[in-house]
Amino acid sequence: MDVLAPQGKLALIDDPETLDVVPLKRKAISLHWELMFTRSLFQTRDMQRQHDILERVSQLVDDQTQTTAGEHHGTINAANLRKAHALIESGRARGKIVLSSF
């Protein structure tokens, strides 16, 4: 909570075991939860938006025009896993570190 700016935003996509939201009040932090199935679960007015988002992501993947991959470290094995882990620990990693051929 210390790193959040006053009137900042905190977004979650996971389910923490516990979450004390009281510290958010002092800084007027807004809390946002995202669940990709909310629109379909509750038949929201903007259900089409989920389809549009997934179509766009699919197109970007097919076109290979946008990715979150930062570096590809080859086949998954002990040596490459150590190299990838070292990069992450260095604090210099950008994007996703990819190991392939599971």
5 part of a folded domain: no
Structural domain including 76 reads: 68-102
98 part of a folded domain: yes
pLDDT at 66: 63
Structure tokens at 70: 């930062």
pLDDT at 64: 77
Percent of the chain with pLDDT over 90: 63
| DSSP assigned state of 102 | -
> How crowded is residue 92: how many other Cβ atoms within 10 Å of its Cβ?
8
* Domain tally, the chain: 1
The 3-state DSSP class for residue 77 equals: coil
Lowest mean pLDDT among 16-30, 51-65, 75-89: 51-65
Task: Give the C-alpha separation, 30 to 17, whole Å.
Answer: 20
Average pLDDT, stretch 18-36?
Answer: 94
Lowest mean pLDDT among 9-13, 14-18, 57-61: 57-61
11 part of a folded domain: no
26 part of a folded domain: no
